[in-house]
Every structure is written in structure tokens, then in C-alpha cells.
Amino acid sequence: MAPSRLDALPIGAQHPQYRELLAVRKDSVPGRILVEGTWEHSQLLTTPTVIDAFFYCPEAAEDGIAEQVASRAAEVFRISPKLYARVTRKTRSDGLISIARLPVWQPTDFRFDESSLVLVADGVEYAGNLGTLIRTVDAARADCLVLTSRRARRSHPGVYAASRGLVLSTPVLEFDDIGEAAAWLRARRVDVHLADPSATGSYRVPQYKGKPTAFVVGSEGGGLSRHWHEQGFGAVSIPMLGQADSLNVALSAGILLFEARAHKDGW
């Protein structure tokens, strides 16, 4: 019988790959994300994602998925319970941690038609919100999430959990300049609607047919940047019927995307 890749000798705290694992945990390695836990790895295995390194703590592992992950990983390392405790973000230990590569999409990768939906998120501050927005984009069968002025990064470990692993398969584009993002949308003849609580027009008035549709939502604290308002796009709002003056950004995005999807698909 061939030796298992899980039988490697344990590495120590000064090993370069363990130090990189700590760096990925701190969200300081661009393009890499930490994946931890049994369910998370089962989701990882459903994608073609490159797994740079897999760290296995047999004393904490609970099932046989480790062999499958090890077979996909470029490198496999065994770590002690002590080192595992230093890096884990979970209260319940599963003994499985990987460094995975985030997929990369380019603006030229996309071709839209009248059924297309795009969500633009401006100034996203929190990893949980970013992950939930990614999950919402997938749920509404939108084409992609566009980020402008973002502060939270896809590589934050919290994004994986909040997106239910969909950060590995949902297209996300980032633009450093809002004008560049707006020009990209215009070039593709996208009908753009700014989500603005102060707008007089209800989100239910447009028909969202005949063109690709995009909604632009702002951050929880600051709302939309004035640079988006300077682009000349129309605005819509979700009526607030109680005492609150706005909704969570991900909830707002879900309402807008599903309204447009219902119009486009006729349901």
C-alpha cells in the first residue's frame, strides 16, 4: 500500500509554511485565503481551486475528508494540537486548514445580455458583509459583484464563512476608480440604478427589461460615495415603513436583485 500524504512528520512553529499560514490568517497575503473545517473543505473540493498547502492535525480531525484534501494540495503538512490551537479561528476544531488561491477575473471576461444582473458595492467595510453580498449575488443568479472603494478584502478568512464558500466561484471585480467602474458599465450598455434611501423613486417602478441591470449599494456607515452620484445614473429606494431609515446593505441588495430577476425571468 502506498504511503499516505498525511503521514508526514510534524512541522514546527518556525517552519516557513507555518509562518505563511499565520500570515494568511491575518489577511496579509494577497490572493490567498484560509479555509478551515470539514464543511468548508467539502465545499472547497467542489471547485477547481488551487490548494497551495494543507495542514492536518490528526488529534483534532473527525472524518476521512483529509485524504481527499491532501490529494489535491500542492503540499501537505502535519501540525501538533498546540500549533493548531494557535492558528484556528473556530471554536470547534476539525483539524483541517488549507491555504487556497482566490480566483481572478478580468473586466474583459464578461459579456452581458438583457438577462444579466450586476451588483456594485461601494465602500464595503466588513468581511461579513462582503461574504453575504457574494452569497446574495449567487442566489439571485447575478453575473458578478463589482467592488469600488472597498475596505474589506476577499482574502479575509471571514469572507469564506459568510459566503458559504461561494467566494471561490462567484465572479468579483475590483476597480480602484469609480469613474473607471462606471465607464465599464456604460460600455456594456448596463442600466445602472443607485440605491439611495433619499431617492423618491421606488425600486419597484422600473421594469428591468431589455438591458443588463446593475444596482449600486453603499457602505453601512457612509452610504454611496459622492463620485457615484456624479456619474449621472438614476436612483431608486426601498420604502422604509417603520422607524428605521435604512436596511443592512446585504438585505437591501437581495431585495433589489430579486426584484430585477423576477422582472427579467417573468415570475
CATH code at 37? 3.30.1330.30
Please tell me the predicted confidence (pLDDT) of residue 9: 80
Could you tell me the pTM of the whole model?
0.93
Please tell me the predicted confidence (pLDDT) of residue 198: 87
Is there a single domain that holds both residue 123 and residue 216?
yes
Q: Can you tell me the distance from the alpha carbon of 116 to that of 19, in angstroms, rounded to the nearest whole number? A: 43
Please, are residues 194 and 236 in contact by the beta-carbon 8 Å criterion?
yes
- Ramachandran bin of 147, using left for φ above 0, alpha for ψ from -120 to 50, beta for the remaining angles: beta
Please tell me the predicted confidence (pLDDT) of residue 28: 93
Is there a single domain that holds both residue 156 and residue 34?
no
List the chain pLDDT tens, one digit each, 267 residues.
Answer: 556 888 878 999 999 999 999 999 999 999 999 999 999 999 999 999 999 999 999 998 866 799 999 999 999 999 999 999 999 988 776 899 999 999 999 999 999 999 999 999 999 999 999 999 999 999 999 999 999 999 999 999 999 999 999 999 999 999 999 999 999 999 999 999 999 988 989 999 999 999 999 999 998 777 899 999 999 999 999 998 898 888 899 999 999 999 999 999 999
**Overall size of the chain counted in residues:** 267
Q: How far is CA 254 from CA 148, 211, 220, 249, 265, in A?
A: 19, 19, 15, 9, 16
Buried b (16+ CB within 10 A) or exposed e, 154-183: bbbbbbbbbbbbbbbebbbbebeebeebbe
Q: Which domain holds residue 92?
A: 5-101
Give residue 210's identity as a one-letter amino acid code.
Answer: G
Which of 69, 101, 133 represents a domain boundary (last residue)? 101
Concatenated DSSP letters for 19-78?
A: HHHHHHHTT-STTEEEEESHHHHHHHTTS---EEEEEE-TTT--STHHHHHHHH-SEEEE
What is the maximum span of the chain, computed from C-alpha positions, in angstroms?
Answer: 71
Per the structure, the count of domains in the chain is: 2
Is there a single domain that holds both residue 124 and residue 90?
no
Is there a single domain that holds both residue 248 and residue 119?
yes
Is there a single domain that holds both residue 117 and residue 171?
yes
Q: Can you tell me the distance from the alpha carbon of 199 to that of 234, in angstroms, rounded to the nearest whole number? A: 9
Intra-chain end-to-end CA distance of the chain, in Å: 56
Cβ-based neighbours of 257, under 8 Å, separated by 6 or more: 117, 119, 136, 137, 140, 142, 215
Which of 74, 101, 128 represents a domain boundary (last residue)? 101
